[in-house]
């Protein structure tokens, strides 16, 4: 994600795509939406409190935000706290787990987490009435999920993307 920002900044006068985007688009880049969870994975990249086959994972594979601020991964209670931010949105909210100890715990309600609220607020900076494209990058997999939009031309182009 930071490479996208660098390319936009360094090529804003390239007489091509980057200059066009620079002159004609509002681009909002949020390089990180879960800073406390990410910081925890950097501090203890190899530490596994729960067995690797159980959930939630930790080390560099932590997917939940961090709700406690004591930075004590040795405490099993602290380790199990958190919400899978990917499942904390209105769309697809029921697809997670209501169990707070689950790796896929979706939170109490849609948008219950400040990180999820910040992502929605950032998308509205476009401004919302002009929002045409939104992408949420993850580093864990090489999958690309694109919803059908109801726009026949756009959906046809999406279907041409390699699986």
pLDDT digits (tens, 9 = 90+) for 41-70: 777 777 666 655 555 456 666 778 877 656
Characterize 77-111 residue by residue with b for buried, 16 or more Cβ atoms within 10 angstroms of its Cβ, and e for exposed.
ebbbbbbbbbbbbeeeeeebeeeebbbbbbbeebe
List the structure tokens of 109.
Answer: 């309600």
pLDDT digits (tens, 9 = 90+) for 105-153: 899 999 999 999 998 888 888 788 888 777 777 665 666 667 778 889 8
Distance, CA of 125 to chain centre: 17
Alpha helices in 11-51 (DSSP H): 17-24, 35-43
Distance, CA of 4 to chain centre: 16
CA–CA dist 86, 93 (Å, integer) = 9
Q: Residue 133: what pLDDT? A: 77
Q: Which residues, 6 or more positions from 30, have their beta carbon under 8 angstroms from its beta carbon?
A: 118, 119, 122
List the structure tokens of 9.
Answer: 């900044």
DSSP SS3 for 138: coil
Return the higher-pLDDT residue of 147 and 95: 95
């Amino acid at each position: 994600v930071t490479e996208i920002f660098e390319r936009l900044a360094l090529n804003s006068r390239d007489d091509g795509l980057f200059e066009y985007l620079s002159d004609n688009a509002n681009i909002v880049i949020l390089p990180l939406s879960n800073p406390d969870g990410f910081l925890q994975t950097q501090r203890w990249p190899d530490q596994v409190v729960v067995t690797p086959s159980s959930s939630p994972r930790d080390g560099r594979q932590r997917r939940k935000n961090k709700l406690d601020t004591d930075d004590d991964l040795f405490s099993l209670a602290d380790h199990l706290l958190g919400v899978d931010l990917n499942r904390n949105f209105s769309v697809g909210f029921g697809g997670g787990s209501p169990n707070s100890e689950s790796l896929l715990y979706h939170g109490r309600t849609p948008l219950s987490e400040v990180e999820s609220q910040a992502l929605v607020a950032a998308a509205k900076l476009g401004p919302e009435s002009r929002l045409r494209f939104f992408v949420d990058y993850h580093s864990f997999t090489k999958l690309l999920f694109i919803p059908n939009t109801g726009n026949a031309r756009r959906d046809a182009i999406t279907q041409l993307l390699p699986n």
